[in-house]
Structure 1
Amino acid sequence: MAAASGTRRPIVGMLVGRRLIKTKSMITLMRASHRVNTRLYFFGAEGVDFKRKTMTGIRYNSRQRRWEKKTVRLPDVLYVRGGSSASVRRVARRMDRMGIPKINALVRFSKSELFEKLQRDERIRPYLPFTIALRDLQDARQYVRKLGKVYIKAIYGRKGTKVMRVVKRSSGYHYSYAVIDRLVRKKVRHFKDLKQHMKHFFGGRKLLVQEAVDVVRIGRRQAVDFRAELQRDGEGALQISGICMRVGRKGSPITTHNAAYKMKDHLQELFPHYTKKEIRDLKQRIEGFVILVHQAVEKCYGGFGELGIDFGVDKRGQIWLFECNAQSAKVSIRKAYGSHTRKKIYLNPLQYAKFLAKK
């Protein structure tokens, strides 16, 4: 580690990528840092000097209400929140070799590798829709024709930006995707034409295909899925910080960053034919499921102080895992929950960092 484990006020280094863009959430994190008595610095990959064992970062001076730049020793704990570029991964690997603990074991997940690993866990296997990496774009044809409805995803995509829904019809192939706030829906007669559109949309990214689950909907066209936020606290104990219901726009293949609500307040609306007991049972099954997923992910990769879990529930009440997120943007939970939870989701990782620094 960069300093003795008994450090009174450990330095938490938040790696935020190349550009130190100052945001409101960074100020919220600084306030949380003051509350838990840690020293939080935001730094980019270019700000690290491994020879001198220092990093140059910024922190917010609340008294003077301004950002200050400072060079300090390498952190006691690393917290990666700046994407997963090659430079971010390089810094994280180097600090890992130095023995500096991280909030999360991984900077990012390979979605296909994650599912391959989880398939070996018989406790998780019933929750996994068919998911497989594509060797090339042509490979997608057999799965679309076999399954009928699929999602094509970038293996390292974030925030739903590289997701395409494809449906095989007798008339050809219907496909849809979202670009920022715009929904694109088109159809082609032949797979060779779909392949060209996929090549344009995904570029040279590595891809996977995932069976499309017939999730519950609001009305006929608004798909609903869920995001669970799990975090460890200042004692290392795992807790469910929140589970949100996310409602997609009409016809949209994704629900990311759209309307979000507390799951527990709206399950009855999604399953109006369920009794109150059945709703309680479903809620308990969902909570047990997300804990199980967290345990399985840690078994595969190591410790995770926070983890976002995306999942769906079909019309029969079956739960399905869609993907896990090593760097959750926490957008849905901030929309769905009140100020107490919004403060807690920033406090928890810093309290956990303090816990790691003492180990």
Structure 2
Amino acid sequence: MTIYQRSDCKPLVGVFISKKQANRLLKQLPHPRLANLAEANDIAGTNLYFFSLKEVMISEQTIYGIFYDKDDHYWKRKPFPYPSVLYKLWTENKLTEDKYLTFINKLTEENVQYINYPHPLNKWKLYNHLQACNELKDHLPDTRLLCSADVLNGMLAEYGTLYVKAAEGSRGEQVVKITDLEDGHCLYSYCKNGEVINRSGTPESVFHYVKRLFKTEEIISQSAINLIEVNGSISDFRAEVQRDGNGKLQVTALPVRLSRQHAPITTHAKSYTFEDFHQACMRHTPEEIAALKERTEDFAKEIYECVEKKYGPVGELGIDLAIDKSGKLWYIETNSQSAKVSLYKAYRGDIIARASLNPLQYANYLHTSKNKIPRCT
């Protein structure tokens, strides 16, 4: 089988996905997000393939990638060289971490470019960096390293309710809400397998529990934001921020997430467009919604550009934000790989198409900027 040859004027974009999703492609059962990327590939004019770590042959510097054959209307596999641009949609696990790091080091040696960051963002390091961006520091919840039960005790006494999470990790099951019960005990809540678990214990016992739960030394504790609630459900939103084919920054979507009743986080939430939520649930006027949306988008862009000052230019980030009951905007966290779950729940049509097209057009931008060549016509 002949290996695919790179084109000078078109980037070869490799999309890193899970083994499960790769198998689904070969069974002709693509996830909608991957199918949409394949469609966007035609518009962007990139050369696109998908692969999991299993398909990477490091000794051969070859990837047995999966691509969509438009003529046969069929997903097929064939050997590809390493990509010129990588788009990471999957996070490796502990079993595959060593191979992934070796692979990324090889790509870096070959000056491969990245649509999104190839490594997760450390929440503690990023928090300290954002603190230095003067326009943002008043919008960050108080955040400290949870290195002892004394820290937990002190923050509970100061704020009453906290959110504790691993410094690295993006799953909702790695977030615990802790509330002071004022009797020497505290209530802690978290989600497991989609269910909300409520328990109580002393601050010391809860501290040791979260240490076991997260299996990491670096855990952060944040003061809770007084989030807007609707019928006992808390709300926040995910700003899907991307760069387009000219490198210009845009907020592609602002899906609002409304948790299940009394759930500590908005994972497994209902999702709404920004406009629908603020019209139906908050009873805002169109003028109020437009002003709030503009303010929120500007805030998301400020965060994005501050992140880039530390980690370098990037094609997309998923930024979690919230508005408290007084109307103040707050930063929650930044995701280097947005799964776009809320976006797909809330939006349709042009927004989904744009969210799929922007990363590939940004790959064109990276490729032509790097090689100083004209775009293919």
Does TM, normalized by the shorter one, top 0.5? yes
Aligned: 1:304 with 2:321: no
Task: Find the counterpart in structure 2 of residue 265 from structure 1.
Answer: 276
Question: Per-residue displacement from partner, 1:278-331 (whole Å, max 9, x unpaired)?
Answer: 544322211110111111111111111111010110111110000001100001
CA distance in 1, matches of 2:285, 2:139: 24
CA distance in 1, matches of 2:288, 2:106: 49
Structure 1 residue 187: deviation in Å?
Answer: 2.0
Aligned: 1:230 with 2:241: yes
- Is contact 1:216–1:270 with CA below 8 Å preserved after alignment? no
CA distance in 2, matches of 1:64, 1:21: 19
CA distance in 2, matches of 1:200, 1:73: 42
Letter in 2 for 1:125: K
Aligned: 1:152 with 2:164: yes
Task: Find the counterpart in structure 2 of residue 70 from structure 1.
Answer: 78
Task: Find the counterpart in structure 1 of residue 292 from structure 2.
Answer: 282
Task: Find the counterpart in structure 2 of residue 173 from structure 1.
Answer: 186
Task: Find the counterpart in structure 2 of residue 323 from structure 1.
Answer: 333
CA distance in 1, matches of 2:54, 2:179: 44
Distance change in 2, residues 1:15/1:136 (3 Å): farther
- The two structures, once aligned, show a CA RMSD in angstroms of 2.4
Task: Find the counterpart in structure 2 of residue 339 from structure 1.
Answer: 349
Aligned: 1:132 with 2:173: no
Question: Per-residue displacement from partner, 1:253-273 (whole Å, max 9, x unpaired)?
Answer: 11124111111233255555x
Aligned-partner SS, 1:290: helix
Task: Find the counterpart in structure 2 of residue 143 from structure 1.
Answer: 155
Distance change in 2, residues 1:183/1:284 (3 Å): same
Letter in 1 for 2:72: Q
Letter in 2 for 1:201: L
- Is contact 2:12–2:84 with CA below 8 Å preserved after alignment? yes
Structure 1 residue 124: deviation in Å?
Answer: 1.2
Structure 1 residue 356: deviation in Å?
Answer: 1.1
Task: Find the counterpart in structure 1 of residue 35 from structure 2.
Answer: 27
Alignment partner of 1:185 out of 198, 206, 209: 198
Letter in 1 for 2:276: D
- Is contact 2:245–2:361 with CA below 8 Å preserved after alignment? yes
CA distance in 2, matches of 1:296, 1:130: 18
Alignment partner of 2:124 out of 101, 112, 129: 112
Aligned: 1:197 with 2:209: yes
Task: Find the counterpart in structure 1 of residue 66 from structure 2.
Answer: 58
Structure 1 residue 5: deviation in Å?
Answer: 9.8
CA distance in 1, matches of 2:229, 2:23: 37
Distance change in 2, residues 1:43/1:301 (3 Å): same
Percent identity among equivalent residues? 31
Letter in 1 for 2:50: F
CA distance in 1, matches of 2:325, 2:280: 12
Shifted more, 230-239 versus 308-317: the winner is 230-239
Letter in 2 for 1:213: I
CA distance in 2, matches of 1:249, 1:105: 31
Task: Find the counterpart in structure 1 of residue 373 from structure 2.
Answer: none
CA distance in 1, matches of 2:109, 2:91: 20
Number of residues of Structure 1 aligned to a counterpart in Structure 2: 354
Structure 1 residue 342: deviation in Å?
Answer: 1.2
Structure 1 residue 30: deviation in Å?
Answer: 1.7
Unaligned runs of 5+ in 2: 25-29, 370-377
CA distance in 2, matches of 1:205, 1:82: 24
CA distance in 2, matches of 1:50, 1:227: 36
Question: Per-residue displacement from partner, 1:194-216 (whole Å, max 9, x unpaired)?
Answer: 23432443234631111100011
Structure 1 residue 6: deviation in Å?
Answer: 7.0
Letter in 2 for 1:248: S
Aligned: 1:7 with 2:15: no
Structure 1 residue 150: deviation in Å?
Answer: 0.4
Structure 1 residue 123: deviation in Å?
Answer: 1.3
Task: Find the counterpart in structure 2 of residue 244 from structure 1.
Answer: 255
Aligned: 1:256 with 2:267: yes
Aligned: 1:44 with 2:56: no
Unaligned runs of 5+ in 1: none
